[in-house]
């Protein structure tokens, strides 16, 4: 589904991704862990097409298409979704209106019929239930004045609505209280399916207790330095990143 090979990218003239190899098959959940500043968000942004990142080498294909040649909206229309580490506020833009426009834009690009107001509201009600989200958030402007946790939940709500093929969750767990974490994880699990893959970026084992990954990777200084099963996360929790770094140097 996603195949990344030898990906190198610069930000502000500095090389942040330094030869990244990574692939995700249908229905798989991959966790990416790694120290602050190692390039996790950069990787997520490069995959979703943010401007300002200069790809200097390597490739990324998504469902056989050259992802890097596409505009961000085209990637979204193909079925890529990024849940932001720092969701952006859009003052004055009504949340429901925004979601409807986004969904219809995606449907339109896929040649599918757009939803009218009634069927959209029905869909929204259904998805709200999954995330135990208060519908008052939908009447407000996108993320404007939302608490940190509300913003993160809103991201997962968007994901539930847009039903992507590949979702990248960038530290969705940070800023969530314990109950919210559970709700979000339940929501994410409800969206797991054999056709839907996920990349979960996190610093904490706790999230992975709820969302059990098929694979765990450690990103350090712009490279995947270790991959393994879900037990790798436990080991990291216990020993910290220094352990792998030290091992890496010893080897």
Partner 1 sequence: MTSATAVDDIVGSEYEHGFTTEIASETFPPGLDEGVVRAISARKGEPEFMTEWRLKAYRHWLTMPEPAWAAVHYPKIDFQSISYFSAPKRPEDMPKSLDEIDPVLLDTYNKLGIPLEEQKALAGIAVDAVFDSVSVATTFRKSLAEAGVIFCSISEAVHDYPELIQQHLGSVVPHTDNYYAALNAAVYSDGTFVYVPKGVRCPMELSTYFRINARNTGQFERTLIVAEAGSYVSYLEGCTAPQRDENQLHAAVVELIAMDDAEIKYSTVQNWYPGDAQGKGGIYNFVTKRGDCRGARSKISWTQVETGSAITWKYPSCLLRGDDSIGEFYSVAVTKGRQQADTGTKMIHIGKNTSSTIVSKGISAGEGTQTYRGLVRIGPRAEGARNHTQCDSLLIGDRCSANTFPYIEVKHPSANMEHEATTSKISDDQLFYCRSRGLTEEDAVSMIVNGFCKEVFNELPMEFAVEAQKLLSISLEGAVG
Ligand X SMILES: Nc1ncnc2c1ncn2[C@@H]1O[C@H](COP(=O)(O)OP(=O)(O)OP(=O)(O)O)[C@@H](O)[C@H]1O
11 binds ligand X (CB under 6 A): yes
Query: Quick check: 51 binds ligand X (CB under 6 A)?
Result: no
User: In the stretch 131-150, what mask flags binding to partner 1 with x, by CB under 8 A?
Assistant: ----------x---------
- Residues counted in the chain: 251
User: Interface with Mg ion includes 202 (CB under 5 A)?
Assistant: no
DSSP-derived letter for residue 196 is B
For partner 1, give the closer residue by CB, 58 or 79. 79
Cβ neighbors of 196 (< 8 A, separation 6 or more) are 26, 27, 163, 164, 165, 166, 167
Q: Which is nearer to Mg ion, 41 or 154 (CB)?
A: 41
As a whole number of angstroms, the distance between CA 44 and CA 84 comes to: 9
Q: Are strands 80-83 and 65-66 parallel, antiparallel or unpaired?
A: unpaired
Which DSSP category does 113 fall into? P
- Those residues whose C-beta lies under 8 Å from the C-beta of residue 116, and which sit 6 or more positions away, are none
Taking CB within 5 to 8 Å according to partner kind, which of partner 1, ligand X, Mg ion, none is near residue 58?
none
29-33 sheet: strands from edge to edge: 80-83, 166-170, 197-201, 29-33, 215-220, 223-228
Query: Helix crossing, 148-162 with 95-109: angle to 10°?
Result: 30
Q: For residue 42, state whether it binds Mg ion (rule: CB under 5 A).
A: no
Burial class (CB in 10 A: 0-12, 13-18, 19+), 129: exposed
The helix (H) or strand (E) run that includes residue 65 is strand 65-66
Q: Considering the rule CB under 8 A, would residue 102 count as an interface residue with partner 1?
A: yes
Listed ranges 6-14, 99-107, 151-159, 208-216: which one lies at the site for ligand X (CB under 6 A): 6-14
Q: Which of 81, 146, 157, 241 binds partner 1 (CB under 8 A)?
A: 81
Residue 75 DSSP code: H
Residue 39 partner contact from Mg ion, partner 1, ligand X, none using kind-dependent CB cut-offs of 5 to 8 Å = ligand X
Closest to ligand X by CB, 43 or 160: 43
Task: Check binding of 229 to ligand X (CB under 6 A).
Answer: no
Piece of the chain touching Mg ion by CB under 5 A; list 7-15, 49-57, 84-92, 184-192: 84-92
Which of these segments, 42-50, 132-140, 175-183, 194-202, binds partner 1 (CB under 8 A)? Answer: 42-50
Using CB under 8 A, which residues numbered 106 to 125 contact partner 1? 106, 109
Task: Provide the binding-site residues for ligand X, judged by CB under 6 A.
Answer: 11-12, 14, 16, 34, 36-42, 85
Q: Which residues bind Mg ion (CB under 5 A)?
A: 40-41, 85
């Amino acid at each position: 589904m996603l195949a990344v090979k030898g990906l190198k990218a610069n930000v502000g003239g500095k090389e942040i991704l330094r030869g990244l190899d990574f692939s995700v098959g249908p229905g798989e959940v991959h966790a990416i862990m790694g120290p602050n500043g190692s390039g996790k968000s950069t990787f997520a942004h490069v995959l979703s097409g943010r401007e300002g990142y200069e790809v200097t080498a390597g490739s990324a294909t998504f469902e056989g298409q050259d992802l890097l040649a596409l505009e961000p909206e085209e990637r979204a229309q193909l079925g890529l979704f990024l849940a932001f580490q720092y969701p952006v506020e859009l003052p004055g833009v009504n949340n429901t209106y925004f979601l409807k426009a986004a969904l219809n834009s995606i449907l339109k690009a896929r040649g599918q019929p757009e939803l009218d107001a009634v069927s959209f509201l029905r869909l929204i009600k259904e998805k709200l239930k999954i995330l135990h989200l208060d519908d008052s958030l939908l009447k407000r402007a996108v993320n404007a004045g939302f608490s940190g946790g509300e913003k993160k939940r809103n991201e997962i709500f968007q994901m539930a609505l847009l039903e992507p093929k590949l979702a990248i969750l960038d530290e969705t767990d940070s800023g969530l209280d314990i109950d919210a974490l559970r709700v979000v994880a339940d929501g994410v699990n409800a969206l797991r399916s054999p056709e839907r893959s996920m990349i979960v970026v996190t610093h904490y084992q706790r999230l992975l207790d709820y969302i059990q990954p098929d694979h765990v990777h450690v990103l350090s200084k712009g490279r995947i330095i270790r991959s393994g099963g879900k037990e790798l996360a436990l080991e990291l929790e216990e020993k910290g990143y220094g352990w792998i770094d030290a091992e890496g140097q010893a080897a």
